Amino acid sequence: SVWFSYNVASSRDDEFVISSFGSYDDLFNNNLGSSASYLEKDVWSHYCSTWQLATTTRTIYVNGEAKKTGSSTSGRTLKKDGVLVLGQMQGSRGGGFSTSYSFGGDLYEVNIFDKMLSAEDVASMYNKGRCGSLDPSLLQNVSFQWTDFMDARRNGDVEVKRGTCSQWNLIRSVIDEDLLEHLIEQHSFN
């Protein structure tokens, strides 16, 4: 199942794909490794794929540890005006979907940065856990953050659940139900 794909109209294939189907982490048709072989099923894992254009260096990290390092095509950059999709491979830019490539699982706190994260940055994110916040020094380098994905249009059988890290259940247990409904309607918390 594909859980991350970026496709542009001028490209025959996705520019970047992370998937357990066929076991790959693919950038420009260059497969670096198997995400499936590194991730335990039904257990939270922190996964990070990094790439630096200048050195062509790519590294896959799982739970804060480098699992595989390789290189990308020299001088090759991601093409602009693509479509980023979570949970599905694209047969064409923003379409060509097949249920056989659909992701069946949970994604949480997906972030995309405009720089290659250091091993220390990745380890720090993992050590903070699923509920941890980003180090303030990285905030300026976030190109897309989880809230961008949560606010985006969704297609297909997508279920959005509130993470167990939030204070939502605590709030629900101490606030009047009518007041809570009013707050939700007025402030679009859904």
Q: Quick one: CA dihedral 40, 45, 51, 52, positive or negative?
A: negative
How many whole angstroms from its chain centre is CA 90?
Answer: 16
What is residue 104's predicted lDDT score, i.e. its pLDDT? 80
Tokens standing for residue 87: 């949970």
What is residue 166's predicted lDDT score, i.e. its pLDDT? 53
Rounded to a whole number of angstroms, the distance between the first and last alpha carbons of the chain is 27
Give dist(CA 179, CA 165) in Å, integer: 23
Confidence of residue 155 (pLDDT cuts 50, 70, 90): confident
Confidence of residue 188 (pLDDT cuts 50, 70, 90): low
The pLDDT tens digits of the residues spanning 81-116 come to 888 888 888 888 888 888 888 888 888 889 999 999
Q: pTM value?
A: 0.77
What is residue 190's predicted lDDT score, i.e. its pLDDT? 46
Query: Position of tokens 């979907």?
Result: 97
Output the CA angle 82-7-118, nearest 5 degrees: 85
**CA-closest candidate to residue 9, choices 84, 71, 94:** 94
More confident residue, 6 or 141: 141
Q: Which residues pair with 52 in a beta bridge?
A: 57
Query: Position of tokens 């809230």?
Result: 147
Give dist(CA 165, CA 108) in Å, integer: 11
73 in the Ramachandran plot: left (φ > 0), alpha (ψ -120 to 50) or beta? beta
The pLDDT tens digits of the residues spanning 175-184 come to 666 776 777 6
